[in-house]
Amino acid sequence: MKKINLPQASGLTSPNPVTLVCTEKPDGSTNLATVSWWTYLSFNPCMIGYAMAKTSYSGEMVRTNKQVILTVPGEKIADVAVGCGSTTGRNTDKVNKFQVEMQKLPNSSIEIPLHSRVAIQCKLKEFVEVGDHYLYICDVEEVYGNEDEKALFAWNGYSEIRPVK
């Protein structure tokens, strides 16, 4: 073995699951942000954790509204996942910019992309500073799934987003 840095290690541990963090903006529209570090924290009680940069607009919306839906995007919206990861929602309506078909879930004002394999509706429990990111710890309220969609993963240190084949 040779000594490497953490970004190089992330490439060696690919693939990583990709998620679109769906939050509600002040005008009631949905913002989408791409995250590829999330995990199941507990099944009893059901909890999810994910990390976002401290400067993230979606993170700001989660801290304000205490509500978030993590979706695992399907293969048909791989380009959307890339675009949403490189554009801020602070000044951009990503849903319109990337022409994302959206759908409603019961008991939520936050919409999600139509082509989602999984949607995990959560309430923010707490967030913790972890270097240049915040770790969001969320209680799971509802979970929805669509086995017809192929989940996306980040490959080669996040340089590619595609399903496992």
Lowest mean pLDDT among 39-53, 131-145, 146-160: 146-160
Per-residue pLDDT tens digits for 9-23: 777 777 888 999 999
Whether 37 has a pLDDT exceeding 90, the answer reads no
Whether 36 has a pLDDT exceeding 90, the answer reads no
Q: Is residue 42 very low, low, confident or very high in pLDDT (cuts 50, 70, 90)?
A: very high
State pTM to two decimals. Answer: 0.91
Cα-based distances in Å from 49 to 46, 96, 98: 11, 28, 27
What does the pLDDT read at residue 155? 82
